[in-house]
Structure 1
Amino acid sequence: MNKISYSFLLLAALATGHTLRAQSPAATEVVLPGFTAYAVPEEKGVDISGRRGVVSWTDSSSAVNFYFHAANPGALKIGLQAKSDAPSKVRMSINGTEKIINIPAGADYATIPALQTKLKQPGFYTISLKGVEKQGSVYADVKGVTLEGAATKDIQFNPKSWRRSASVHLNYTAPEGTDVEWFYGEIKVPEGEDKLGTYFMSCGWHRGYFGMQVNSPTERRIIFSVWDSGKEPDDRAKVKYEDQVTLLGKGDSVVAQGFGGEGTGGHSHWKYMWKAGETYRFLMHAVPTGTVTQYTAYFYVPEHKEWKMIASFRAPKDGKYMGRLYSFLENFSFENGFQYRKGYYGNHWVKSSKGEWIELTKARFSNDATARAKDRLDFGGGSENGMFYLWTAGFVPANAKMGDVFERAPLGKAPEIELPKF
């Protein structure tokens, strides 16, 4: 609108005794994409597709859940973007309110009014769908859930198909000027927190990481990896030989090979059914020579009461002792990114090249891009029971933020280590 037209309207409004008012914007509809849902307790009889959303939903034993965080209380109107191959019924529930939703047959998605509720306080909320009745092969294909109302103001949810929870880290600092030749740490996973698709990493440094994973209901691993030099992100075949990490040796029954996909490098793992509730010990050793460093990982096997060498790698274009020391907790499974998991990390020590043991009693908290983008808000860490801890997922409020510093009471007793003789 130009200046002359606006002046004319203003004069007309004054002449008629009215004032001009800005039009309030129409209520904004928020859509929780179908590909961000989770099947609970497990993704069985339903598929959460990164491209198509909720599809192939044939089994009513698992609920399909959508999660969000409401920053403001208020009214909430919910719709369901769905279709089915034949008429069906699903039950939607949220905040103590539930309703049976009729899904019409059709090839195209329809936005179906579902229910209305009022959120009384800020916090995490779950919209849960359960299959009730189907005449065709599926309960419904779900493209998304629509939200309208005052409660959508500043609402937070994950808009991406990346359904892993945030990774969280403990960053340790050795005294300035210390050449870290040895790096020792312990992990204890509480019973029930050893969820599938979790990596509890004890001893990480500028070139690699060493810890333990839950890989399947019947397989767990001790994992040790060292990155190649260079910046190739995915394909190790593209890494020049002079930039590649090379295997120098490995323990009995250890698998060692190259890896790609999250950087490239040398990978090793030993299948070992570690147990929740037990404390496990990890030890890293660095020997720099010229422009290369040899990194060796040892794991203490409590059943045998001895240290086992996992592997030893030669890292080119390095030539340093260990720096940027850290531990982390990672959820590497998309399907169960809703499940809370927690690990205790403690009794970390370093031993200098001069033979001095130094206890690490402070750790700085950090997190990954998922947390920094605010795609997930459920993560944290701290110190309790004489150890640091990290947790992620569960859709419960964060209790730590980037840069927080945790402290634990010193134990004052350096680890006693008798390594195998070669």
Structure 2
Amino acid sequence: MTKTKSVSLGLTALILAATIVVPVGDVVAGKNLEGIACRSVHLGYPAPEGRTFYNEATIRKSAPGSYFMVCGWNRGYFGLQEIGNGKKVVLFSVWDSGQNNPNAVPAEKRVKILHQDADVRVGRFGGEGSGGQSFFDFDWKIGETYRCMVRATPNGPRTEYAGYFYLPKTKEWKHLVTFSTLSKGQPLRGYYSFVEDFKRNRVSTTHARVADFGSGWVETTTGEWIPLLKARFTGDANPVMNINGGKTSPTTFFLATGGETKNVDTPLREMIELPADQNRKPPEDLPK
């Protein structure tokens, strides 16, 4: 697990004084991971506070120990992992504290489980902050597009975060889990995606990890849908430069790291922009 925090204007600043969320572990440990792990790379999407975050991902290249994080925000993240030995999962996590010992968090301050699908495993995590995490075993495929949606419902001092994953075979949305966490009733903010190598065994650096992210939308707190047409390309403190980012179509960005990757499209910290399209509409089949 990788804890997140807000990083204000500076290395990973976004336009319009927006805030990006990047992994804390990336900043602290990244310098020590040269030659051990691929550099983590991120896309930070400037957008208003919202109640819904929708995004899609198509994984092009993977290896054991890969996390393709599709929907990240300031209190959690949601995406696809290849763990190893052919095992793949959908992961949805929400934080409740910065403490490394999950048992040290008082019961009344912990993440609460409000919904759990029968196919989903739920538990607590620690080590880099603490909170609730859920796993859905899912044999995702290279080259297939997957759809994720997070919905936030403020409720007093807490916010309820619901994770939905679209099942292509049955053409239906699966409500994986809803976690409630103390947040001062904040809506969604700090939207981002990333690609991470968590295998960290030196050999993992020789394998490229590549994914497209796109067709993203944020529904604001006032009900307006905003397309995600801009993204800041950033990396962790690992100094290696076999990384890349850019756009693959009028509706998609991409991230690449490791192996023979070359930084030929977008320099670090630069903004990537997709073309505006007045005919662009949010999906009509999103869960209500």
Q: If the length of structure 1 is used for normalisation, what is the TM-score?
A: 0.57
Pairwise CA distance, 1:161: 7.8
- 2:256 alignment partner, one of 384, 391, 399: 391
Q: Distance in 2 between matches of 1:290 and 1:162?
A: 46
Check the 8 A contact 2:35/2:205 in 1, yes or no: no
What residue in structure 2 maps to residue 356 of structure 1? 224
Aligned-partner SS, 2:103: helix
Aligned amino acid, residue 241 of structure 2: L
Residues 186-208 of structure 1 show CA distances to partners (whole Å, capped at 9, x for unaligned) of 00112xx1211111111100000
Q: Distance in 2 between matches of 1:159 and 1:181?
A: 37
- 1:173 alignment partner, one of 46, 66, 84: 46
Residues 220-273 of structure 1 show CA distances to partners (whole Å, capped at 9, x for unaligned) of 1011000113x21x2211223233211111112100000112221100010000
Q: What does 1:22-421 correspond to in 2, within 5 Å?
A: 163-174=36-47, 178-190=48-60, 193-229=61-97, 231-232=98-99, 234-335=100-201, 336-370=204-238, 374=239, 376-386=240-250, 387-399=252-264, 400-410=266-276, 412-419=280-287
Distance 1:253 1:404, change over 3 A: same
Pairwise CA distance, 1:382: 0.8
Q: Distance in 2 between matches of 1:159 and 1:395?
A: 21
Distance 1:306 1:239, change over 3 A: same
How many residue pairs get aligned? The number is 252
Distance 1:314 1:162, change over 3 A: farther
Structure with bigger RCO (C-alpha 8 Å, 6+ apart): 2
Distance 1:161 1:240, change over 3 A: farther
Pair member with larger Rg: 1
Aligned amino acid, residue 36 of structure 2: R
Pairwise CA distance, 1:416: 1.4
Check the 8 A contact 2:63/2:207 in 1, yes or no: yes
- For the aligned residues, what is the CA RMSD? 1.9
Distance 1:252 1:410, change over 3 A: farther
Q: Distance in 1 between matches of 2:32 and 2:162?
A: 41
Distance 1:418 1:396, change over 3 A: closer
Aligned amino acid, residue 289 of structure 1: N
Aligned amino acid, residue 109 of structure 2: D
Residues 146-178 of structure 1 show CA distances to partners (whole Å, capped at 9, x for unaligned) of xxxxxxxxxxxx87687111111100111xxx4
Q: Distance in 1 between matches of 2:144 and 2:119?
A: 22
Distance 1:219 1:396, change over 3 A: closer
Pairwise CA distance, 1:297: 0.4
Q: Distance in 2 between matches of 1:338 and 1:208?
A: 29
Check the 8 A contact 1:243/1:317 in 2, yes or no: no
Aligned-partner SS, 2:231: strand
Distance 1:160 1:171, change over 3 A: closer
Aligned-partner SS, 2:129: coil
Check the 8 A contact 2:62/2:208 in 1, yes or no: no
Aligned amino acid, residue 398 of structure 1: N
Distance 1:199 1:159, change over 3 A: closer
Percent of pairs with identical residues: 37
Pairwise CA distance, 1:397: 3.5
Pairwise CA distance, 1:309: 0.7
Check the 8 A contact 2:67/2:197 in 1, yes or no: yes
Aligned-partner SS, 1:337: helix
Q: If the length of structure 2 is used for normalisation, what is the TM-score?
A: 0.82
Pairwise CA distance, 1:395: 4.7
Pairwise CA distance, 1:396: 4.1
Check the 8 A contact 1:377/1:395 in 2, yes or no: no
